[in-house]
Amino acid sequence: MKRITLLGSTGSIGTQTLEVLRSNPDKFQLGAMSFGTNVDLGAKQANEFKPSVICTGDQTAADQLRGKLHYQAEILFGLDGLTEVAVSEADMLVNAVMGRVGLEPTLKAIESGIDVAIANKETLVTAGHLVTEAAEKQGVSLLPVDSEHSAIYQCLHGNVDKEVSQLILTASGGSFRDYKRSDLENVTVDQALNHPNWSMGAKITIDSASMMNKGLEVIEAKWLFNMSYDKISVIQHRESIVHSMVEYVDGSVLAHMGTPDMKVPIQYALSHPERLALQGGQRLKLWEVGKLHFEEMDYERFRLLKLAFDAGRAGGTAPTVLNAANEAAVDLFLNRKISFLDIETIVERALNDHQTSQNPPLEEIIEVDRSVRSAVLADLT
């Protein structure tokens, strides 16, 4: 039985990870978990799976949780608690938190020799060089959970890198894929949160609408698969049936297809290299889909995607700035303090104002992240 630590249990990926565990009680056991401040759902999950260690986002949530548990568990809170949970005795850490907060716990888990199933793309975007170097040093596996990266991982299986011509990430286009730039001036938060294909958390849904989510995935792919940006491309695919593709030097293209359901890549990351039977999920029926559509990506229309490529190529602290500015801007948009198009303006300004430093240590990355977020907020006052 594989013992799992889950960071971010109450989020979209977290709840679906628990569905996989619930469907395979003979394969997986939840040893530790974390969540933010959704105490009611967190307590319900804990009482069902009974992890021995739980971390909450703050002390108030921890105090509330103590009164709702029906069994004895160690309860921690905050970033220190999150890091402690990450190094709990486990065979695999599932990093499903949102944002840069997942970086330090992931590094600590890797240092402890724990394999990582990573859904928190910001960890690799912010400090991909540190994470991949640590994983290689410790002999730890980094297994992708994002559907696009899981697709590439499976299409690459058994093939050497030198045979690969390019990795092709697919993008649905998000909530505003049929909008012209002039149509985006006055779009609302509710409109942005209305994704046509996927059910996801608020932040990632906004990122999908702006195409920043795909930009973060491009940078993540570079680190996961040790691939240059010249060998990574993005195409728009409305149906989200082809999750991604790999083109080889002989012109062959391997595509991974499936329904828009995150439980399949989550389950594969947990069970790898074994494949488990799909429990209750919807299977792909191509004759019902009928047609698949693919379009060339418009980098002028989706400026944040271009900025992500630019930041990735610049390397060093540039992706850290990209991610920090975007997280701060998205939070402001969700709180209705800026417009949708202000997000890309804020990100671009942050990148232009930054002097990139190469091969930054963790302390510098944390400081750059902090200073960028502070600068974004300061610009509003």
Residues flagged as binding site for 1-deoxy-D-xylulose 5-phosphate: 121, 147-148, 172, 195, 208, 213-214, 217
Query: Within 10 A of 38 (CB to CB), how many other CB atoms are there?
Result: 16
**Distance of alpha carbon 114 from alpha carbon 3, whole angstroms:** 11
**Residue type for 372, please?**
V
Cis peptide before 319 (omega within 30 of 0): no
Q: What are the tokens at 28?
A: 């997986």
Annotated binding site: 10-13, 36, 38, 120-122, 146-148, 172, 195, 201, 208, 213-214, 217
Q: What is the DSSP string of 259-314?
A: -S-THHHHHHHHHTTS-PPP-SPPPP-HHHH-----EE--TTTSHHHHHHHHHHHH
Q: Which two tokens stand for residue 127?
A: 């400090």
SS3 5: strand
Report how far residue 56's alpha carbon sits from residue 60's, in angstroms, rounded to the nearest whole number. Answer: 9
Binding-site positions for NADPH read 10-13, 36, 38, 120, 122, 201
| CA distance linking residue 110 with residue 53, whole number of Å | 19
From the list 301, 332, 276, 116, the residue with the least C-alpha distance to 211 is 301
Residue numbering of the annotated binding site for Mn(2+) = 146, 148, 217
Give the integer Cα–Cα distance in Å for 334 and 337. 8
CB atoms within 10 A of CB 198: 16
Burial class (CB in 10 A: 0-12, 13-18, 19+), 235: middle
Query: Which residues pair with residue 92 across a beta bridge?
Result: 4, 115
Burial class (CB in 10 A: 0-12, 13-18, 19+), 203: buried
Query: Around Cβ 110, how many Cβ atoms within 10 Å?
Result: 27
Nearest to 362 by CA among 142, 138, 140, 126: 126
